[in-house]
Structure formats: C-alpha cells, structure tokens
Structure 1
Amino acid sequence: MQRVHPLQSIFERAKHVVFSFAIVTILGCAVPTSGGERMQVEVDVFSGRPNPQWTLTPPEADQLIQRVQALPSESGEGDVKEGLGYRGLIVTKSGDRTENYTEISISNGLVIANKNGQLRRLVDQNRTLERWLFQTGKNRLENPLYQQIEQQIK
C-alpha cells in the first residue's frame, strides 16, 4: 500500500473545491437575469416582406420601461404613421420584464402602450424615446437601412 503524504491529500481536496467553485461561478453568470424575458423591437418599415427586428438586452429593456413610464399622457387625437416606408417601432414581449406591457408602438411623437389590456396614449416629446430605442438597433440592422431611417427620425 502506497502512503499518501497528508499535505498531498489536502492539496487534492482544495484543487477539487476550487474547480467546483469555478464551474458553479461560470454557470451562475450564464443564467439570464429576471428569468430570461425578452423584448423584441420591430422596425415597421416594409410591406410584403418581414420587418427587421432585434432583441433588447435586459438593461435596455429595463431602461425602455423606465422611459415609457416617465412619459406624459396624450389627450389629442393623433395616430401612428401609416402608409409606405418607415412607420415606427413596435415592441413586443415574451416574459414579465415589461411591467405588464404587451405591446408598445412608437411613431412620430406618439406612444401607444397596451398595459393590462388597456391602451395608454403617451407623448414622446421630440421623438426622444423613438430615437433612443432605434439607436439600440445600430449594430443589429443593416447599415444602409439604419442610416436611411436615422435621417427620418432626427
């Protein structure tokens, strides 16, 4: 029977503990926050083909909700832009990160937010929310399309 030095046994155990801790830490960092909810942004621009879209990161989604909740109510009769070309942005959810918003349409200074089945009309002064949300898609959209729409919402 081969004798194992007591320190060697301790080092082997410590090595296994450190390895296990590293694996748990790495796996823990890979788990998405807030249950992995997703918010999709769709650019309402095309007719007859799918609109481009991207998924917001959790921090972007949180910031979007904060910005929407800070908007004042709109009392006029304005409506979202219709017709050909860029019409606005549509945010949809899958999960609970959206604070009960199921869809948020942003177009030409107007935000229509569907919250708990009720439509809320909000003012996007100077299209600040629309421009901020659109810029989150800068590296997620084809550059010529991004530049064309960016010129329209300045």
Structure 2
Amino acid sequence: MRIEIDIYSGRPNPGWNPTPDEEVQLRRLLRRVTAPSEAPAPEDLGYRGFLVLDATDATSLGSQLRVYRGRIYSEARGARRAWADFGGVEDWLRQQAIHHGLGDLLP
C-alpha cells in the first residue's frame, strides 16, 4: 500500500508507505465508511486530497481511493463512486502526513 498527497501536476506526488500498524488503523477507519454519497470532483490544480494506492487488501471500496473534503472516492471501470467519510479517514491521513514530515504541503 502507498499513500500520496495529490498535489502536483507533471511530477511525482509526495507520499509514504504505511507501516503494518498504520495499515491496520486505516483499514479500521475505512470500515466505518457509510452509504454512497454524491459529491463534486476534486479541483484540477493544487491540493486534491490523499490517494490510497494498492488498497485492494485493505478495503472492499476499491484498489485506488481518493480521500478529499469529507468524501472517499473510488473509480472502477469508468464509474465513480463516493462515500461520506464518517470514519475520520481524511483527518487520520492528515495526521500521518505530518508524522511523516509532509505537513508543510497541506493546505
């Protein structure tokens, strides 16, 4: 699994590989995701939330997730789905980014 801050266009996003304990915590939070939700797509430029990559084993929501402004997005086979982030996933990812030395990149 890899977590990235989706902030750059045209160059690699900064990110980290979570420890096994962090993966367990993230899985626990993702299980709290509630019913599908409609929400606008993230902006084209600047901060666009967090990407959780290679998450297949962590969640049934999808293998690549975007966590942005209180929503969790998944795109599979051209269909975008969104869920309300009542589990606090975005807040937890923000704290992890700070812990991994990337807090200065967050808005």
TM class by smaller structure: 0.7 to 0.9
Q: Secondary structure at the match of 1:136?
A: helix
Q: RMSD of the alignment, in Å? A: 2.6
Flag the 1:119–1:70 CA change in 2: closer, same or farther, 3 A.
Answer: farther
Percent identity, aligned pairs only, is: 29
Give the structure 1 partner of residue 82 of structure 2: 121
**TM-score, with structure 1 as normaliser:** 0.57
Aligned counterpart in structure 2 of residue 61 of structure 1, from 23, 35, 41: 23
- Give 1 or 2: higher helix fraction: 1
Q: Which has the higher contact order (CA 8 A, sep 6+)?
A: 2
Q: Report the structure number with the largest CA radius of gyration.
A: 1
For structure 1, list consecutive stretches of 5 or more residues without a partner in the other structure: 1-38
Runs of 4+ in structure 1 deviating by more than 4 angstroms, as ranges, are none
| Distance in 2, Cα, partners of 1:50 & 1:86 | 13
Give the structure 1 partner of residue 44 of structure 2: 83
Residues matched between the structures, number? 104
Aligned-residue offset at 1:43 = 0.6
**TM-score, with structure 2 as normaliser:** 0.78
